[in-house]
Amino acid sequence: MRKAIERTVRISLATWLQGAVLALLVAALPAGGSARADTASGWARTEQSAVRLVSAVSGVGSGQTVTLGLHFRLEPGWKVYWRSPGSGGLPPVIDWQGSENAGEARIVWPAPKRFDALGIESFGYSDEVVFPVEMRLERPGEPARLAAAVEYLTCREICIPYQADLRLELPSGPAGPSAEAELVSRFLARVPGDGVAAGLRVASVGLGGTAEARTLVALVETDRPLAKPDLFVETAIPADFGAPTVTPIAGGARLETPIAGDPATVARLAGRDVTVTLVDGDRSLETQLRVGSAAPLPAVPASAWLAILATALLGGLILNLMPCVLPVLSLKLLGVVEAGGRERSEVRRGFIASSAGILFSFLLLAAGAVALKTAGMAAGWGIQFQEPWFLAGMAAVLALFAANLWGWFEIPLPGFAQAAANAPHRGLIGHFLTGAFAALLATPCSAPFLGTAIGFALSRGPIEIFAIFAALGVGLASPYLAVAAFPGIATRLPRPGLWMVKVRRVLAVVMLLTCIWLLSVLAAQQGVWTAAGLGLVLVLAALLIGPLARLPAAWRTSVAAATLVLFAVAVVPRLSAPPQVSDAVEAGAQWQPFDRARIATLVAEGRTVFVDVTADWCITCQVNKKLVLNRGEVADRLARPQLVAMRADWTRPDAGIARFLADHGRYGIPFNIVYGPGAPDGVALPELLTESTVMEALTRATGPARALARGDGG
């Protein structure tokens, strides 16, 4: 009996101890597990996204507001939208009906990113975002039961609307930081402020451009250089604002944003208030400004002007050594040879006239660039080679040069011109035209320093464009000017004689090859039959010009008329026709068509993207392909499956490619850039490629860890 009593006592004591421990554990739970449940709702999940409602505080406290957060997690490539979604999309909307002790709620929006898909720009967020929400309580200090019906749109290649019903209860008690407080605070820090702490300020905004192609110009002041700024503009006027072009200025930058919309409607922006959000990496600001007239570009300091002019002079000088200037060098050589044995003053006049022709051509190009910019169109180096009529005219001049040098015909200058130059075979007009023609033929090439000078010029105003193009012309004319300064270089050469016939014939072959190259560019633009028809007309013209002078007048008229009719029937309609689209693929190549919208997606997938902006008329581009891109280790690297090689063909006008170049501060080609996980913003390459520079850029863009993991290094 005694043992039974003792056993009962031991069991009762053990049971009591277990109950006491359990009670203590239950009493400890509010400090841990239930706090987590009180400050975050459950996830509402879909295949593309997950969303929940969180609180930054563990209780309502005694204040009038609490801070909440709408937390999104998105699958790779999917996005949700900012309050102003851009050309497409819808921002998230929260309906608080059914909530208790919940008053007015206001979403504050973190700084957005710009997305570009198929030419449609939108603004929003990818991967993860928290939209902070300031909730006013109707009865401060009392518990709040929140019911949030969230409607949102998530997009990738397609868009899917969703609705999520989220529930969250906040108890009364101290408003201490919750487990989600750090998450909400992190995205609160990304909400644009007034810019003071970020060292940013938008001084003014104004309308720029032309009546048909308006832009919004913003002058930004910053305490350190901008890295990759973007500008988001909100207004009641129906208009779309594109990505800005950035021009560094003293103390900040000038951002010029294209405006798409009805010109009459866009003009109504003048004098209205707009909300401007400036984002540069982790810095941002939001401000409201009144739109005025576009502020002029600030003056460039004298030291900077001297540096850019020196760069332009050097770029023009180096242009003499580029492969596309071979016909130009031939013309110069012929001028030097013909100058052999002549008087120093005569040599000086001839070379000064040729230099004037070069300078005239560059000023003509500058005038064209200013006219294009004023009209709101793209301006770039060498873009005249995108025009079939320009190609046809240059080919005709070269064909006639070749025939003349070969001795098929001679065209004497008018008597007044011969007398003016006191030279029976050639006058100052001929020297001038030779220089002008040489400069035009040199423009398909880009050289070191040339891109820097052209990029600066075309981002500025008319005065800067003319000044820098003039400096480029002086650089290209430097060899002529050197001979003009020291004419003894030419007068020491042998006098003209029979040996010149062979020299002229060699140069005629050079001119003919250049003419054939121009016809091949024309064939790429307008089709093989267009180039063949023009070639036939040029051959007939070259063959007939000499004998034509010996025919009776009636025959000369008939033959000339027949040639013109052939040209009008066989060539003119084809030159005026829209450019042909070729589906030809380079033999053995792994290149894909340029698709700017895919680059970010491919990089997000861990792949490297190499972009080659090229054209059939760009000889420097062809040299880069032949010597670097299509051979050796570079070609092997570009063929690897983890690397996507894109080719942007600018042989014909293409607004998308022109904008891509302008966004990177380039206005001429070749242009090569590499994107990858290690360089999502891209690594731009110099105009002249080498195997080492390309391989270094590919390795940098790929990222060392990824390259090692795939065996894709070096």
Rounded to whole angstroms, the Cα distance separating 36 from 32 reads 7
CATH number of this structure's domain 201-293, picked from the four choices 2.60.40.10, 3.40.50.460, 3.40.630.30, 3.90.1200.10: 2.60.40.10
Looking at residue 47, what is its pLDDT?
94
Looking at residue 37, what is its pLDDT?
44
> Of 69-73, 432-436, 668-672, 689-693, which has the strongest mean pLDDT?
69-73
- Give the residue-averaged pLDDT of 621-631: 86
- For the domain spanning 592-710, the CATH number is 3.40.30.10
* pLDDT band at 104; cut points 50, 70, 90: very high
Question: How does DSSP classify residue 627?
Answer: I
Three-state SS annotation for 676-711: ECCEEEEEECCCCCCHHHHHHHHHHHHCHHHHHHHC
Residue, of 502 and 45, whose pLDDT is higher:
45
Sequence spans of domains, the chain: 2-31, 39-188, 201-293, 302-576, 592-710
Mean pLDDT in the chain?
77
Span of 106-120, 136-150, 394-408 with lowest mean pLDDT:
394-408
Beta strands at 65-74 and 105-107: parallel, antiparallel or unpaired: unpaired
Looking at residue 78, what is its pLDDT?
94
- Give the residue-averaged pLDDT of 87-100: 92
Looking at residue 92, what is its pLDDT?
96
Question: How does DSSP classify residue 630?
Answer: T
Question: How does DSSP classify residue 239?
Answer: -
Residue 481 pLDDT > 60, yes or no? yes
Question: Look-up: residue for tokens 């052209």?
Answer: 454
Rounded to whole angstroms, the Cα distance separating 32 from 686 reads 59
- Give the residue-averaged pLDDT of 262-277: 86
CA–CA–CA angle 465, 220, 295 (5° rounding): 50
- pLDDT tens figures, 595-625: 888 888 888 888 899 999 988 777 778 888 8
- pLDDT tens figures, 278-321: 999 889 999 999 988 655 555 566 776 777 788 888 878 877 76
* pLDDT band at 495; cut points 50, 70, 90: low
Kindly list the distances between the CA atom of residue 698 and the CA atoms of 625, 660, 677, in Å, as whole numbers in the listed order: 16, 20, 11
- For the domain spanning 39-188, the CATH number is 2.60.40.1250
Give the up-direction half-sphere exposure of residue 420: CA atoms within 13 A in the CB hemisphere: 14
- pLDDT tens figures, 2-59: 444 444 434 344 433 344 433 333 334 333 333 344 789 999 999 999 999 999 999 9
Residue 176 pLDDT > 80, yes or no? yes
Looking at residue 449, what is its pLDDT?
59
* pLDDT band at 632; cut points 50, 70, 90: confident
Residue 646 CB neighbour total at 10 angstroms: 20
Same fold: 39-188 with 201-293: yes
- Give the residue-averaged pLDDT of 701-709: 58
Kindly list the distances between the CA atom of residue 367 and the CA atoms of 313, 361, 464, 565, in Å, as whole numbers in the listed order: 19, 10, 12, 34
Partners of 107 in the beta sheet?
Answer: 133
- pTM, full prediction: 0.46
Beta strands in 96-229 (DSSP E): 105-107, 113-117, 120-126, 128-136, 144-155, 159-170, 200-209, 214-222
Tokens matching residue 161: 């609307």
